[in-house]
């Protein structure tokens, strides 16, 4: 009986230790369960955020007012803010580069195994298409065009000619390759070299004309002067007649040469802004009255049957150009239409999406032969027996000095269309 209190105490201590152990174990279990629950919730939040980021959806925000996980939610929201900022910066850069590429004068196309991922505004303008998803679509425009885009590579530049509603185009096509997201991409760049080739051709002709006129004038002018002087001192009728013939022929040749010297003396345009409608109305009035009456009397009889019209597809077209030089172009085109026995002449003006002013001169006169269409802008070439062959060549020079172009779009039994582009 002496040991009962001690036994009781020991028993009580043992029970107390057991209870404490159970409490600790229970607390640990509860803590583990809570931790698992919290971890599961946090993992779900992270998974949700990652799924949202993968889908580029950032319209989420975690509650920062809760007791458990407040700090973690703040961290996730901060990450979302950082990702959103980065996305906005990337989008701004894409818009910037997109706008920049849309304003360059080079067509740019990004291609992945034939699929067109990007196409800038100038590319659409040059190709004459609004949308393109695969380069196979280029086959509808021209098989040669499709082959050029298909075969172009960094080591294989392509040159191709094809026809669009703007007429014949000549493109220089180059390519570079890059890797994006593990995929090999081809970046195709192309430029219209039609004007460059025409300009080089024109410069060559100008140099030739300059040399020829110089040599002819230096040779013929003294002959004309000497023959006129000698004819005054010679009494022989035969010799006098011969000298007069020489003088007359020389003067005719000088006049002929002086006409072609015009091609080498086109002055720099003195530009100012003017409304095209008012300008073309004055030109049409001039053609209808003064010009035809004074210089083309043979066409007066048919003048009453010719119908003129001006169609303005864009309101208040404002042209910045040398009015006198541009008037030469339209007078020449209208005159050629009249001489081709046209009964209807339409002038159609519009502003294209690329801010280029396009003016078409359309007539229903005799068509230009297929053989002549590629030569009509060459100096000295004329389809008319009495033509000088400088009208269209001079028109092309004037347009080039205005950073524009003139092209023959079509000429068939239905209509002949010349198109002027002012950039």
| Each residue's pLDDT tens digit, 54-63 | 666 767 677 7
Q: What contacts 182, CB < 8 A, 6 or more positions away?
A: none
Residues 230-256 have pLDDT tens digits of 666 666 666 667 667 666 666 666 665
Q: 269-422 has which CATH code?
A: 3.30.565.10
pTM: 0.49
**Could you say which DSSP state residue 114 is in?**
T
Q: Comparing 208 with 308, which gets the higher pLDDT? A: 308
Best CA proximity match to 325, nearest among 394, 264, 390: 394
Let me know how long the chain is: 423
Give every strand in the sheet of 416-422, ordered side by side. 307-312, 344-351, 357-363, 416-422, 404-411
Backbone angles phi, psi at 414, to 5 degrees: -90, -45
- Between CA 148 and CA 158, with CA 152 as vertex, the angle to 5 degrees is 60
Helix, strand or coil, per DSSP, at residue 39? helix
Which has the higher per-residue pLDDT, 401 or 204? 401
Q: What are phi and psi of 372, to 5 degrees?
A: -90, -20
Percent of the chain with pLDDT over 70: 56
Q: Note whether 404 and 420 are within 8 A (CB).
A: yes
Per-residue pLDDT of 381-390, as tens digits, reads 677 666 666 7
Give 343-374 pLDDT, tens digit per residue.
899 999 999 877 889 999 999 999 998 888 87
List all residues 6 or more positions away from 163 whose beta carbon is below 8 Å from its beta carbon: 142, 169
The hierarchical CATH code for the domain 104-192 is: 3.30.450.20
Lowest mean pLDDT segment, chosen from 23-32, 226-235, 255-264, 265-274: 255-264
Q: Is the pLDDT of residue 13 over 50?
A: yes
């Amino acid at each position: 009986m002496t040991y009962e209190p001690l036994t009781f105490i020991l028993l009580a201590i043992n029970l107390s230790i057991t209870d404490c152990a159970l409490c600790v174990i229970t607390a640990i279990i509860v803590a583990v369960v809570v931790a698992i629950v919290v971890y599961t919730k946090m993992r779900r939040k992270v998974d949700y955020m990652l799924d949202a980021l993968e889908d580029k959806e950032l319209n989420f925000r975690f509650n920062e007012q809760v007791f458990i996980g407040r700090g973690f939610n703040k961290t996730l929201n901060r990450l979302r803010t950082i990702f959103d900022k980065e996305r906005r910066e990337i989008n701004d850069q894409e818009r910037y580069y997109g706008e920049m590429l849309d304003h360059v004068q080079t067509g740019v196309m990004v291609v992945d195994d034939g699929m067109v991922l990007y196409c800038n505004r100038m590319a659409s303008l040059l190709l004459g298409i609004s949308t393109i998803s695969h380069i196979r679509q280029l086959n509808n425009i021209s098989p040669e065009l499709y082959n050029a885009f298909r075969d172009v590579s960094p080591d294989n530049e392509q040159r191709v000619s094809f026809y669009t509603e703007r007429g014949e185009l000549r493109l220089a096509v180059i390519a570079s390759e890059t890797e994006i997201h593990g995929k090999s991409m081809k970046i195709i760049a192309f430029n219209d070299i039609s004007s460059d080739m025409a300009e080089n051709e024109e410069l060559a002709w100008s140099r030739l004309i300059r040399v020829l006129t110089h040599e002819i004038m230096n040779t013929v002018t003294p002959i004309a002067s000497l023959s006129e002087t000698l004819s005054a001192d010679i009494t022989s009728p035969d010799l006098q007649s011969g000298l007069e013939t020489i003088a007359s022929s020389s003067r005719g040749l000088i006049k002929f040469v002086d006409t072609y010297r015009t091609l080498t003396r086109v002055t720099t345009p003195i530009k100012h802004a003017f409304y095209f409608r008012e300008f073309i109305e004055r030109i049409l009035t001039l053609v209808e009255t003064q010009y035809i009456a004074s210089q083309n009397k043979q066409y007066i009889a048919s003048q009453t049957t010719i119908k003129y019209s001006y169609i303005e597809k864009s309101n208040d077209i404002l042209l910045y150009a040398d009015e006198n030089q541009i008037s030469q172009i339209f007078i020449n085109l209208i005159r050629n239409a009249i001489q081709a026995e046209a009964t209807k002449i339409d002038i159609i003006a519009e502003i294209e999406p690329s801010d280029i002013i396009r003016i078409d001169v359309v007539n229903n006169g005799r068509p230009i032969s297929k053989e002549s269409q590629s030569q009509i802008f060459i100096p000295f070439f004329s389809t008319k027996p009495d033509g000088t062959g400088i009208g269209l060549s001079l028109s092309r020079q004037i347009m080039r000095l205005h950073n524009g172009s003139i092209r023959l779009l079509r000429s068939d039994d239905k209509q002949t269309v010349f198109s002027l582009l002012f950039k």
